[in-house]
Chain A
Amino acid sequence: MSSTAEIMARCQGLFEDLNYSDARAWKAKVPGRKVVGFLPVYVPLEMVHAAGCLPLGIFGGGDQLEVIHGDAYYQSYICRIPRSTIELGVTGRLDFVDGMLFPFVCDVIRNLSGIWKMMFPNVWTKFFDTPQNFDSSIGGTYYVHELQELREGLENLTGRKITDDDLRRSIKLYNENRRLIREVYAFRAREPWRAPTSEVYVIMRAGLMMEVEEHNQILRDYMDAAAREDRPQRDNVRVAIYGSFCEQPPLNLIKSVEMAGCYVVDDDYSLVNRFLTEDVPTDGDPLAALAETYLKHSVETSCKYVPKEEDKGKFHVESVRKSGAEGVIYATPSFCDPALLDRPMIAHRLTEAGIPHINFKYAENSGQMQPIREQAGTFADSLKLWS
């Protein structure tokens, strides 16, 4: 039986490794294997898995990568993630990656897909679009075709067909993955001192760099180990962090928020692994099943249109209630249009619901944590006072 320390050692190693040694080793193990990178926020990982490829989460360079070349591609008023992703590319760290998926997130990621096409013409590069019309017969029909196009792209890459049964098998594994992730999140919300976010986050990130089967086992082991271990409960407040769905904060930021007296009981970090909130049906047409689940059972995030005004921010309010958070930290990357344009609307809804909130901005390579610690600390104090 593994301890949390052992699990964390494995996950931390993966999370920190910007040479992606594990994914390289995975690829080298069997001739012909392909690795397909993907950027935040959502792509159907089961499709990549069904193609026999390793889906590899590329979440920028974090705070450990010195960006030298990437800055020559982006003006100062654009967020960090595209430039550090380019840095990963031009320094050869992604030279084993055979395909790259750029999802529907914002204009920056969208345009980055074109840059990738020009810079790495030998990599299969695809902008993956998800519908903003949520009617099955309109957005659903469109999406099924887009999924079919993705399927064909992957088939071309690997030279082998993806059957419906392949897909169903993968969907099952990812359903299991999502279920376990929901359990970990629920466990953390119940007993956050046993499952601090600085750990949960790393496990989730590492999970997007390994085979899903292994991640499923890690999630089970972690819950067992964390439940067994005796960890002191502190007088912390419970907060949810939203706005961090794309460029990720440095791990130190998460630790700083915790050290400032906050248990993070909900978040939208690396959202891809729980973007779909319910199981994808494994009977019937798998593409239709994926489409329908996306349309009807996926999270609200700034990268998705909310068709009804009254529903805007509802997801956040409900998640706050469900996780028992006492307040919200809306933490966004600097220059992140989707998150920052959403911020006032989400803030209004939180206020209406009587949920206290603060906001701040970060960059993936933010080094100075003092101001964040102070802000989070003051927020924690005020939450204690109000409650």
Chain B
Amino acid sequence: MSEAIKEKSMLLQKDMISRNYEAITSKHETGRKVASTFVPGNLNELLMCFDIVNNLPEINAIQNGMRKVSGNYILEAEKHGHSEDVCTYVKADIGMMGKGNIAPNGKPFPNPDVLLLSYTGCYTFMKWFELLREQYKCPTLMLHVPYEGDGHSTKNMRDYIVKQLKEVVIPGLEQVSGVKFDIDRLRQYLKNSAKAEDGLVWCLEQGKIKPSPIDAYFGGVYYIGPMFTAFRGTPESIVYYEELMKEVQARIDNKLGPVTPDGTPFNDQKYRLVVEGPPNWTNFREFWKMFYDEGAVVVASSYTKVGGMYDLGFRHDPDHPLETLADYCLGCYTNRNLPTRVDILAKYVEEYEADGLLINSIKSCNSFSAGQLMIMKEVEKRTGKPGAFIESDLVDPRYFSAANIKNRLESYFQMIEQKRRGTGKAA
């Protein structure tokens, strides 16, 4: 995406990300400790209490996907016995190690000091970190977050997480870092988080406006960056959202759509979509272009909720620091059961006045994908709006078929047109 036109918020974010990579790769000079951890259910505020730098293998896989090097890493992992059937984030990560473990800033990734396995919403996480642990032989702290099988969390689940935080995670991080846990420090970071979360939610909700001043999927990927990665809880993330809000407000004032990577505002919005599932990263720009070329803007998406469903009202609560971390982990999108995911998506279609639900089904990702056809049928049934299904992969270029996706999208837009004409006649 280097050639894309950048807005100020994007530049801010780029700077934050490169500073984080610097902090990771300079650990030997600075003496700071590094944790590897996951996006959903990440405990950034807690890690900050121990001055630990946060490294996210999923984000590295995304970066490598966008820089078009993930394909080679995946082949490397497969060469060493990893199955072609499993999550390509894992293989991109493992393959990267085999190829020197070079960070996006060109410097080698140091070995992590601790693996913080926040097991939230995806089974693969557990295996992924067992694989990394085999490689790095470093302490691994497991935080098991129970799945909301009945569509809600229970006191037992929350107590279980809090207990693990108190008795496993916090003592473990104290030991790795040599820093004593200070709950007031945590409260301060949580306060910052809540503020930034307000900003994120405001931005995402502007997708309700017509024309939409945001793209809540392709553009949304940037909006969630600071919140989902190593910056939640920092003052920088608050500044980021303030800047982003200004940009979105300016577009609203001028009745403009989001800025596309070509640098032009996307105003001629013919179709409004809700999208379920992660995007493809290897052909991200080409993929996005297929949408705006046809006049399709994404007004809401589920992918932008994997790291927390703030739009449903959750905010980190400094008054209940550990309990709020538990609630946060429990509430991430893929930790919610399928009927709840249907409710959420149907609500998006209605509240954002979308033309329908489009699913980008990811070959790698059972957590998202297993059940998506049922989700599509149910959302169609509930909203009366047509759904569509396309397939790709996260970071494996072998599974991105541009022609196929384009065809499907075109037929989908025709279907929406027909539906509109049909409804028009009926009215």
Contacts and interface: CB of A to CB of B under 8 A. Distances in A.
Contact of B123 (A73, A77, A129, A338): A338
B67 interface: no
A229 interface: no
Interface stretch (B5-13, B124-132, B216-224): B124-132
B156 interface: yes
B338 A78 contact: no
Interface residues of A, number: 57
A129 B147 contact: yes
A46 B130 CA distance: 32
A335 B164 contact: no
Contacts of B60: none
Nearest to A303: B123
Contacts of A111: 337-338, 366-367, 370-371
Contact of A337 (B86, B134, B339): B86
B144 to A, nearest CB: 4
Contacts of A145: 156
Question: Chain A CB within 10 Å — which of B119, B131, B146, B168 has the most?
Answer: B146
Given A112-B370, A126-B150, A131 B133 contact: no
Nearest to B121: A107
Given A78-B369, A343-B83, A127 B160 contact: no
Nearest to B83: A340
A305 B126 contact: yes
Interface in A129-152: 129, 131-133, 135, 137-139, 141-142, 145-146, 149
Given A127-B147, A341-B128, A132 B366 contact: no
A111 B96 CA distance: 31
A138 B83 CA distance: 34
A341 B90 contact: yes
B371 A305 contact: no
A344 to B, nearest CB: 5
B85 A77 contact: yes
Contacts of B149: 102, 110, 113-114, 126-129
A69 to B, nearest CB: 11
A104 B146 CA distance: 10
Contacts of A4: none
Contact of B366 (A108, A142, A347): A108
B130 A335 contact: no
Interface string A87-128: 000000000000000101011101111110111000000111
B163 A138 contact: yes
A182 B127 CA distance: 29
A118 B366 contact: no
Nearest to B124: A337
Interface string B131-148: 101100100101010110
A102 B144 CA distance: 18
Interface string B237-281: 000000000000000000000000000000000000000000000
Nearest to A102: B149
B134 A309 contact: yes
A386 to B, nearest CB: 21
B305 interface: no
Contact of B81 (A78, A128, A309, A344): A344
B160 A138 contact: yes
Nearest to B365: A107
Contact of B378 (A77, A118, A305, A336): A118
A146 B155 CA distance: 11
Given A74-B373, A77-B85, A107-B370, 20 more contacts: A73-B373, A78-B366, A78-B369, A104-B147, A111-B371, A112-B371, A114-B149, A114-B338, A118-B374, A126-B150, A133-B142, A138-B167, A138-B168, A141-B159, A141-B163, A142-B156, A338-B123, A344-B131, A345-B131, A361-B83
Interface of B: 80-83, 85-87, 90, 119, 122-124, 126-128, 130-131, 133-134, 137, 140, 142, 144, 146-147, 149-150, 154, 156-157, 159-160, 163-164, 167-168, 334, 337-342, 361, 363, 366-367, 369-374, 378, 391
Interface of A: 72-75, 77-78, 82, 102, 104, 106-108, 110-115, 117-119, 126-129, 131-133, 135, 137-139, 141-142, 145-146, 149, 302, 305-307, 309, 312, 334-338, 340-345, 347-348, 361
